[in-house]
Amino acid sequence: MKQKRSILILVLLIVLLSSITASFGILSHKGDGPYQYESIRGESVEIYGRGVYHHMSADVAVQGIAQDYVTLFAGIPLLLISLIGCRRNSIRYHFLLAGTLLYFFVTYLFYTAMGMYNVLFLFYTALLGLSFFGLILAIYSFDLKEITEQLSIKIPNKLVGGFLIFNSIAIAILWLGIIIPPLFDGSIYPVELQHYTTLIVQGFDLGLLLPASFVAGLLLFRARTTGFLFGTIYIVFLSILMTALSAKIIAMYLNDVNVIPAVFIIPGINIFTIICAFLMIRSFQTNRRNESNR
């Protein structure tokens, strides 16, 4: 019961702070608009010049705003819905809650590390900490024996596990395709670096998220109990993250950025991840969970 109370408090704080943060990112427009900036590496970068993201490059800033929309209108409602269902002892909603908390953790990990310093910095760090500890508590409160007992016969573990493995390898190859060529031709710095200090997205993906996707996918493919746990959580997280990525693609298109062929590929993958998340969650029985040790 103490864990449930702690999760309730953490989630409500996340909802409150992320509502303020996302709304501020969407609605703030103060500034003179785009301008050219020469980076320390001598490259010209177009800076957004407006709102809370005014020091970000123009293409990254519009992606941040797009993700704020997803966080506000998808992430927060999912948090509240899953919290209600989880407090009714539904294992399905427990998975939804854990996956959504992982989305918030990753989102504000990137905002804290990559976002140019602004007035929301303390909000980013607070959300990073709250979502991290909420995620840990949500995972810790699962009962591995209960997960096995509530599994149905028809569980798409090979489909979803195989996809998580494929996704981790494909994205790793994509990022290495950005990083490795400049190392061989002597230029060292990829164009995608722009005026930032390092490749934050690629670094966290290659070091943390993609290995996690691969391991969770492998365990799920092999029908391990921990695979059912982490694989389901990860595919829920990925379905929300891919929704944010689809929104980013649309935002870039609306700002005259070339998004071909991504505009045809990403939404398709997004739909597939949502279907996979739905199938995995549906694979668990709907009977009420045991209250002991909760």
Predicted confidence (pLDDT) per residue in 99-150, tens digit? 999 999 999 999 999 999 999 999 999 999 999 999 999 999 999 888 988 8
Report residue 153's pLDDT band, with 50, 70 and 90 as the boundaries: low
- Does 29 fall in a domain? yes
- Does 290 fall in a domain? no
- Does 268 fall in a domain? yes
pLDDT value at position 291?
Answer: 46
Residue 124, class by beta-carbon neighbours within 10 Å (0-12 exposed, 13-18 middle, 19+ buried)? buried
- Does 102 fall in a domain? yes
State the average pLDDT over residues 81-88.
94
Q: pTM of the entire structure?
A: 0.95
Q: Alpha helices, DSSP H only, in 32-156?
A: 58-70, 76-87, 91-114, 121-140, 144-149
- Does 293 fall in a domain? no
Domain that holds residue 151: 2-282
pLDDT single digits (tens) 258-291: 888 888 889 999 999 999 999 999 999 765 555 4
Long-range contacts of 155-160 (CB under 8 A, 24+ apart): 155/228, 155/280, 155/283, 156/276, 156/279, 156/280, 156/283, 157/220, 157/221, 157/223, 157/227, 157/228, 157/231, 158/221, 159/276, 159/279, 160/217, 160/220, 160/231, 160/235, 160/276, 160/279, 160/280
- Rounded to 10°, the helix 2-27/76-87 angle is 170
pLDDT at 292 over 70: no
pLDDT value at position 258?
Answer: 85
- Does 291 fall in a domain? no
pLDDT at 293 over 50: no
pLDDT single digits (tens) 31-48: 999 999 999 999 999 999
State the average pLDDT over residues 197-212.
97
Query: Domain total for the chain?
Result: 1
Report residue 151's pLDDT band, with 50, 70 and 90 as the boundaries: confident
- Does 136 fall in a domain? yes
The whole-angstrom separation of Cα 48 and Cα 271 is: 30
- Does 294 fall in a domain? no
